[in-house]
Amino acid sequence: MSPTTPTSPILRVEQLGCERDERILFRDLAFQACAGEIWQVAGANGTGKTTLLRILAGLHGFHDGRVRWQVPGARHASAHDQILFLGHLAGLREELTAQENLRWLCALHDQPAAMIPAALSAVGLAGYDDAPVATMSAGQKRRVALARLWLPGKAVWILDEPFTAIDATGVEMIEQRLRKQAAAGTLVIYTSHHRLATDTRQIHLGGQGA
């Protein structure tokens, strides 16, 4: 749920455009997003959803226009230190355990590791702390990556297809988590073909389809 009091935008996107392989994915994209909002980037396959999320996260620099972050407490103008980015792949090292993967990611992205066991429990993986990721199913691997949503410390979540490989119960669990975190002030931007049963804003890419 969005806050009821108006807040200043923490993200301003102006005249954003991107093309790949001489094909325009989007152009003149403009929007402003505030803390506590949930934004869905929608569109058919290949319309540029992942590309847009990577631009917002500062991971893809080949674009026109401007992306301006003003996140309270951010140490850099890019707000990099305040963004939790989860890509469409689980991004885990197969030879490491669930806990080792999360410890490594926490160290890399400045998130507290103390809550890792509780986070694994929250995503239904209690008792899997020491299981090598290579021995897990696709949905369990995705849950390990999603456990980072239960670790504090980031003001912005950018999530690429967070529901991939997740069962119906898990989808409901993640939906609840996104709603709760947004209500606490986090800006959530996600791509999915799944629309949340809550008040979300939408950016639709590729009006003509893929």
Contact residues for ligand ATP, defined by CB under 6 A: 20-21, 25, 43, 45-51
Closest distance between ligand ATP and the C-beta of residue 163, in Å? 13
Closest distance between ligand ATP and the C-beta of residue 96, in Å? 26
Nearer to ligand ATP, 19 or 81 (CB): 19
Nearer to ligand ATP, 2 or 50 (CB): 50
Nearer to ligand ATP, 46 or 65 (CB): 46
User: Which class for 9: exposed (0-12), middle (13-18), buried (19 or more C-beta within 10 A)?
Assistant: middle
Closest distance between ligand ATP and the C-beta of residue 8, in Å? 29
Nearer to ligand ATP, 186 or 191 (CB): 191
Nearer to ligand ATP, 88 or 103 (CB): 88
Which residues are CB-neighbours of 26 under 8 A, at least 6 positions away? 16, 17, 18, 47, 48, 52, 205, 206
Closest distance between ligand ATP and the C-beta of residue 26, in Å? 10
What length does the chain have?
Answer: 210
Closest distance between ligand ATP and the C-beta of residue 187, in Å? 20
Distance CA 170, CA 188 (A): 18
Residue type at 89 in one-letter notation: L
Q: Are strands 64-69 and 9-20 parallel, antiparallel or unpaired?
A: antiparallel
Radius of gyration of the chain (CA): 17
Nearer to ligand ATP, 54 or 179 (CB): 54
Which residues are CB-neighbours of 206 under 8 A, at least 6 positions away? 25, 26, 43, 44, 46, 47, 48
No. of helices (H) and no. of strands (E), the chain:
5, 8
Closest distance between ligand ATP and the C-beta of residue 199, in Å? 23
Q: Are strands 23-34 and 9-20 parallel, antiparallel or unpaired?
A: antiparallel
